[in-house]
């Protein structure tokens, strides 16, 4: 029975019994604590926790899962795998044990001719939790399983919870006896190799409080609604039904494994090393295919790193078997898509995109391996000559930094050579590199492309890319280069994230403070690439970054590049305005106001410059006025090329951080501004419309930043500001020019009033200290003074009151507790005298008791502690909880 048929029968059976079939969720988990869905019940957790309303009280699914904590064990055994599928049926407050147990038994034992799995009843054993007489009774009395095939196990084996407070309950597992050739008699408690678990039924019936470990937790009570969560491993079930020894010999994995053996000339079963590699390849190619299909892309962080690691382990094991040629992953991915496509038709629909991603990763890593393996071998030889079992941290870092070897791969290869790696030294060097990278924004823009790849792209374009964007906003070109995940590829399918090189382009690459153009590239074959970034990582090379929106992009295609004209115009206005504001500040502040950076975005720009201190508001107004006068004069904006020496002689300003050749481009706005600039600009200054300076601030020692709006964005800002000023004028009953003084007076009086209110409130709070001390109640020899302060009382006042009362009770063993709700969230302060501390009462522990009741946390010293929570309605509960704790001391 093929795997797809196993899943079809399972889902069909439960659909017949009133269950809603829920499609598999994406491997990208919604749960922020998980990178990937790692269990069949993960998508159902919100229903079990009461966070969402389920679509049905009865559901069933075949869920894709990826689990990688034991990735190093994959291949070494036949039990471990990264990708697997869980078949499950779920009841949310509907049927419980009496329903779940017969369902499982019926499906397992129903003849295959009637749609079941056809297991002989005498081959099945069950386990129940030690104290679960109810489940044991159902298995024996209702289903008819003999008592000798029902075994009881403890918490470690037959109790389920999520590892945190929440639902939990006993389990009942079903095992299949594979026969005496697989091990000893005696049931699963004796031998789990012979007796193979095929199904786990979880009976969620308890609400768990504190969970300390798998076997150490508190049961707070019964769940208001009992739930069922079952899981059957599809691969394990397929192995039994297909009569094979392990999951790697089942249809979907075996197809990939057999093709890998064929491509590399290996033979499964010949030797342990080859078998390990073939199992790694089979599992990882299938896992990688499924992850890419769900939108995960190889990367250096999070789930992207998991995918990269999986794919690269596949590629390396192919090489270990002698498969050094590129394209092997393409072949194996094709097999995986075919093997899994019956269950997941989206694999077939998105095959081109899956191939694009995996092919690119293969090409990139093969290049890494070609260069890095030699370096690794040299490092191993050097370690052996030195007689040390340790591979130096700097060598591991060099492999990672220069040759792209993930540290996990280096660790794995070193272990194979009987060596260890100085991981601490490696981590230190990585931290230092991250610090350097943060200070190098330009390096971030080049991504992970190495120089050889950049050279290939430049050669593919026939030399420097011709930028035609000064005079044209669209143009015909040739697609000269295509990258996916940093590797050259001949084609990329729909949905692929790509980097494109054309032989000529109107797209402006980010530089000189100007943001990149956006737009589309339409290809002669019908493909459309949406561009959202353009970079120039190497002189003469322009790389367009985006996504293939439709069709398939191929190197050599005719391309029609078209930029977003409105965005370009808005950015050009901002760039010209930056030049003009720069000139205005130099006029106002002198040549010391040198540009130190800028960013020109649509309708808005920022300009950084050197200055010894804050720029007076009067200077900001003067510069703004001067710039807007130039706009009214509608000066001609002209760009031309000349020699660097001639440009300097003309007084053209060179921009911060830019490098210039012998020939430079000069942009001038009449006689007002003249700068060296490669950016795009308006034709006349009047096209800017209006420049509105928003303000300035310090961004570092000796550097100030001015931000401003341009054009329609400036007009809209002023319009809103005008309406606001008119409203304030009306409310304050003052003319517009009187508003600053009037508002200042009102704010001053308000501050004075707030101070007086705070003083009176503090006096009022402290005034009751004496009565609280006198009214303290005796609890087993400890004076307990508790008080709920009026809502709005600040935390500082609560603290002062608690300390004051404690001081009045200093001669006694006393605990003082004060609770208030300053801002909709309760705060508790507990102060303990020395006498009470000698009796073992600690303020920090007591605050923890109170905070737990309030739905929060807190702590502090033994004599004084503070905490809080989120449930203002639980203040009375918190007071009672602390009183009980004090009384029990």
Binding residues for Zn(2+): 575, 579, 677, 681
Q: Is the pLDDT of residue 61 over 90?
A: yes
DSSP 8-state class, residue 599: E
Give the separation between CA 762 and CA 756, rounded to whole angstroms: 10
Tokens representing 127 are 């386990």
- Is beta strand 217-233 parallel, antiparallel or unpaired with respect to 83-92? antiparallel
Average pLDDT, stretch 237-261?
94
Place 612 in a pLDDT band, splitting at 50, 70 and 90. low
Q: What is the pLDDT of residues 74-98, one digit of tens each?
A: 988 888 899 999 999 999 999 999 9
Give the separation between CA 239 and CA 1, rounded to whole angstroms: 9
Q: Is the pLDDT of residue 446 over 50?
A: no
Place 790 in a pLDDT band, splitting at 50, 70 and 90. confident
Inter-residue contact 158 to 173 (CB < 8 Å): yes
Instruction: State the pLDDT at residue 702.
Output: 58
Q: Is the pLDDT of residue 463 over 60?
A: yes
Range name among 72-76, 229-233, 361-365 with the lowest pLDDT average? 361-365
Q: What is the pLDDT of residues 300-326, one digit of tens each?
A: 778 888 998 899 899 989 988 887 677
Q: Is the pLDDT of residue 148 over 50?
A: yes
Give the separation between CA 306 and CA 83, rounded to whole angstroms: 12
Tokens representing 321 are 């078997």
Pick 316 or 158 by higher pLDDT. 158
Q: Enumerate the β-bridge partners of residue 498.
A: 546
Instruction: State the pLDDT at residue 158.
Output: 95
Helix (H) / strand (E) containing 202:
strand 195-211
Q: What is the pLDDT of residues 721-768, one digit of tens each?
A: 889 888 988 888 888 888 888 888 888 999 888 888 777 777 776 788
Q: Is the pLDDT of residue 216 over 60?
A: yes
Instruction: State the pLDDT at residue 592.
Output: 65
Instruction: State the pLDDT at residue 402.
Output: 67
Instruction: State the pLDDT at residue 692.
Output: 95
Range name among 46-50, 782-786, 866-870 with the lowest pLDDT average? 46-50
Give the separation between CA 159 and CA 172, rounded to whole angstroms: 9
Give the separation between CA 334 and CA 327, rounded to whole angstroms: 11
Place 462 in a pLDDT band, splitting at 50, 70 and 90. confident
Instruction: State the pLDDT at residue 452.
Output: 58
Give the separation between CA 745 and CA 124, rounded to whole angstroms: 86
Give the separation between CA 442 and CA 451, rounded to whole angstroms: 15
Give the separation between CA 328 and CA 264, rounded to whole angstroms: 9
Q: Is the pLDDT of residue 621 over 50?
A: yes
The total of other beta-carbon atoms located within 10 Å of residue 674's CB is 19
Pick 166 or 153 by higher pLDDT. 153
The number of residues in the chain equals: 889
Q: How many helices (H) and strands (E) does the chain have?
A: 27, 35
Q: What are the two backbone dihedrals, phi and then psi, of residue 599, each rounded to the nearest 5 degrees?
A: -145, 125
Range name among 185-189, 347-351, 465-469 with the lowest pLDDT average? 347-351
Instruction: State the pLDDT at residue 712.
Output: 93
How far, CA to CA in Å, does 810 sit from each of 567, 776, 781? 72, 13, 14
Give the separation between CA 232 and CA 85, rounded to whole angstroms: 8
Instruction: Give strand ranges (E) for 234-299.
Output: none
SS3 state of residue 615: coil
Inter-residue contact 361 to 485 (CB < 8 Å): yes
Q: Is the pLDDT of residue 563 over 50?
A: yes
Give the separation between CA 406 and CA 312, rounded to whole angstroms: 9
Q: Enumerate the β-bridge partners of residue 170.
A: 159
Instruction: State the pLDDT at residue 680.
Output: 95
Average pLDDT, stretch 23-27?
92
Inter-residue contact 467 to 542 (CB < 8 Å): yes
Percent of the chain with pLDDT over 90: 57
Average pLDDT, stretch 411-438?
79
Instruction: State the pLDDT at residue 441.
Output: 38
Mean pLDDT of the chain: 88
Pick 249 or 430 by higher pLDDT. 249
The total of other beta-carbon atoms located within 10 Å of residue 851's CB is 23
Pick 860 or 39 by higher pLDDT. 39
Binding residues: 575, 579, 677, 681
Average pLDDT, stretch 400-421?
79
């Amino acid at each position: 029975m093929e795997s797809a048929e196993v899943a079809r029968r399972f889902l069909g059976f439960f659909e017949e019994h009133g269950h809603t079939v829920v499609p598999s969720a994406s491997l990208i988990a919604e749960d922020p604590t998980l990178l990937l869905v790692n269990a069949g019940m993960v998508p159902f957790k919100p229903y079990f926790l009461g966070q969402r309303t389920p679509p049905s009280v009865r559901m069933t699914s075949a869920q894709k899962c990826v689990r990688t904590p034991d990735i190093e064990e994959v291949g070494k055994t036949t039990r471990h795998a990264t990708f697997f599928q869980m078949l499950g049926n779920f009841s949310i407050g509907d049927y419980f044990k009496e329903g779940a147990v017969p369902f499982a038994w019926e499906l397992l034992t129903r003849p295959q001719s009637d749609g079941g799995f056809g297991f002989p009843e005498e081959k099945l054993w069950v386990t129940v939790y030690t104290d679960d007489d109810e489940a044991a009774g159902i298995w024996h009395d209702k289903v008819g399983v003999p008592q000798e095939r029902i075994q009881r196990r403890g918490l470690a084996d037959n109790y389920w919870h999520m590892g945190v407070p929440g639902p939990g309950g006993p389990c009942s597992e079903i095992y299949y006896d594979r026969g005496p050739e697989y091990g000893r008699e005696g049931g699963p408690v004796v031998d789990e190799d012979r007796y193979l678990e095929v199904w786990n039924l979880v009976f969620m019936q308890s609400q768990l409080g504190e969970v300390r470990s798998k076997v150490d937790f508190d049961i707070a009570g019964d769940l208001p609604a009992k739930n069922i969560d079952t899981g059957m491993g599809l691969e394990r079930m397929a192995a039994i039904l297909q009569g094979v020894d392990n999951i790697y010999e089942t249809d979907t994995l075996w197809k990939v494994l057999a093709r890998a053996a064929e491509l590399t000339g290996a033979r499964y079963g010949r030797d342990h090393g080859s078998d390990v590699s073939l199992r790694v390849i089979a599992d990882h190619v299938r896992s990688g295919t499924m992850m890419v299909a769900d939108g995960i892309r190889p990367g250096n962080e999070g789930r992207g790193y998991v995918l990269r690691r999986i794919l690269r382990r596949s590629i390396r094991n192919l090489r270990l078997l002698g498969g050094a040629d590129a394209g092997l992953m393409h072949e194996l991915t094709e097999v995986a898509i075919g093997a899994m496509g019956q269950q997941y038709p989206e694999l077939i629909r998105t095959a081109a995109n899956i191939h694009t991603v995996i092919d690119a990763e293969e090409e990139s890593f093969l290049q890494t391996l070609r260069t890095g393996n030699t370096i690794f071998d040299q490092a191993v030889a050097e370690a052996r000559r030195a007689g040390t079992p340790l591979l130096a941290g700097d060598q591991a870092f060099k492999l990672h930094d220069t040759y792209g070897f993930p540290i996990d791969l280096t660790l794995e290869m070193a272990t194979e050579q009987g060596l260890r790696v100085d991981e601490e030294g490696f981590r230190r060097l990585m931290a230092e590199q991250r610090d350097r990278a943060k200070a190098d924004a330009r390096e971030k823009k080049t991504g992970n492309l190495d120089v050889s790849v950049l050279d290939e792209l430049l050669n593919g374009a026939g030399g420097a890319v011709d930028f035609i964007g000064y005079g044209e906003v669209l143009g015909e070109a040739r697609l000269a280069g295509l990258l996916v995940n940093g590797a050259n590829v001949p084609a990329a399918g729909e949905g692929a994230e790509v980097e494109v090189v054309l032989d000529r382009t109107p797209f402006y690459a980010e530089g000189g403070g100007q943001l990149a153009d956006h737009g589309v590239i339409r290809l002669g074959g019908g493909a459309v690439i949406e561009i959202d970034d353009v970079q120039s990582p190497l002189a003469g090379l322009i790389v367009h970054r985006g996504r293939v929106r439709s069709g398939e992009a191929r190197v050599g295609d005719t391309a029609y590049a078209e930029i977003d004209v409105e965005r370009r115009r808005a950015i050009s206005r901002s760039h010209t305005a930056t030049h003009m504001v720069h000139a205005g500040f130099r006029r106002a502040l002198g040549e010391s106001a040198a540009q130190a950076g800028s960013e020109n975005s649509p309708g808005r720009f920022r300009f950084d410059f050197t200055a010894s201190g804050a720029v007076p508001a009067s200077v900001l107004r003067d510069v703004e006025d001067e710039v807007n006068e130039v706009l009214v004069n509608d000066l001609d904006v002209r760009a031309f090329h000349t020699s660097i020496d001639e440009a300097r002689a003309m007084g053209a300003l060179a921009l911060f951080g830019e490098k210039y050749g012998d020939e430079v481009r000069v942009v001038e706005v009449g006689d007002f501004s003249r700068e060296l600039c490669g950016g795009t600009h308006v034709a006349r200054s009047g096209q800017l419309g209006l420049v509105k300076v928003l303000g300035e601030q310090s961004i570092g020692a000796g550097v100030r930043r001015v931000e401003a709006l341009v054009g329609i964005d400036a007009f809209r800002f002023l319009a809103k500001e005008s309406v606001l000023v008119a409203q304030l004028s009306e409310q304050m009953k003052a003319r517009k020019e009187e508003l600053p003084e009037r508002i200042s007076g009102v704010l001053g009086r308000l501050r004075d009033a707030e101070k007086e209110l705070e003083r009176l409130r503090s006096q009022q709070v402290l005034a009751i200290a004496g009565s609280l001390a006198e009214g303290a109640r005796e609890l087993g020899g400890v004076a307990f003074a508790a008080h709920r302060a009026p809502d709005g009382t600040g935390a500082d006042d609560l603290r002062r009151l608690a300390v004051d009362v404690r001081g009045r009770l200093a001669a006694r063993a006393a605990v003082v507790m004060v609770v208030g709700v300053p801002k909709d969230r309760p705060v508790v302060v507990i102060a303990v005298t020395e006498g009470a501390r000698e009796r073992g009462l600690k303020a920090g522990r007591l605050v923890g008791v109170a905070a737990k009741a309030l739905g929060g946390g807190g702590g502090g010293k033994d004599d004084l502690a503070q905490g809080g929570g989120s449930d203002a309605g639980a203040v009375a509960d918190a007071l009672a909880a602390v009183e009980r704790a004090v009384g029990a001391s």
